[in-house]
């Protein structure tokens, strides 16, 4: 069987591989850009009162806590998918790719449930 000549396009076909690819890429981009606001908040560490005031807003808003859990979801989606990609590259049989995706999904959801519970709890 022959794939298209344009190597990069091969991955852009519907299916688990495509879904995994989009999830990995999307979460990677968002996480990379998240470093900026995160560092900006830490910048206020030089002023304890200011930092604690900002932290207070974070603690008291449920929306912010939920966003934190969302960030964990992104990290898990990206990290577990990355592990799956690396396993396949290292020689795991590619017929297992769907099974690996489902395994990553289950592990991710379990870790997310456990982590989000801790992050949202007051």
Q: Residues interacting with ligand HEM, by CB under 6 A?
A: 24-25, 28-29, 31-32, 35, 78-79, 82-83, 85-86
Phi, psi (deg, nearest 5) at residue 14? -55, 150
Are 27 and 70 in contact by the 8 Å Cβ rule? The answer is no
Binding partner of 59, given ligand HEM, another protein, none, CB within 5-8 angstroms per partner class? another protein
Nearer to another protein, 16 or 54 (CB): 54
How many whole angstroms separate alpha carbon 55 and alpha carbon 69? 16
Binding partner of 57, given another protein, ligand HEM, none, CB within 5-8 angstroms per partner class? none
Nearer to ligand HEM, 54 or 72 (CB): 72
How many whole angstroms separate alpha carbon 3 and alpha carbon 10? 7
């Amino acid at each position: 069987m022959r794939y298209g000549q344009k190597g990069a396009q091969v991955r852009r076909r519907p299916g688990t591989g495509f879904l995994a690819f989009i999830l990995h890429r999307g979460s990677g981009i968002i996480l990379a850009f998240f470093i900026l606001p995160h560092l900006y908040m830490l910048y206020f560490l030089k002023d304890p009162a200011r930092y604690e005031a900002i932290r207070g807003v974070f603690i008291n808003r449920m929306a912010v806590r939920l966003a934190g859990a969302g960030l964990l979801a992104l990290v898990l989606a990206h990290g577990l998918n990355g592990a799956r990609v690396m396993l396949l590259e290292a020689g795991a049989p590619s017929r297992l790719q769907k099974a690996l995706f489902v395994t990553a999904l289950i592990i991710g959801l379990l870790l997310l449930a456990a982590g989000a519970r801790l992050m949202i709890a007051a």
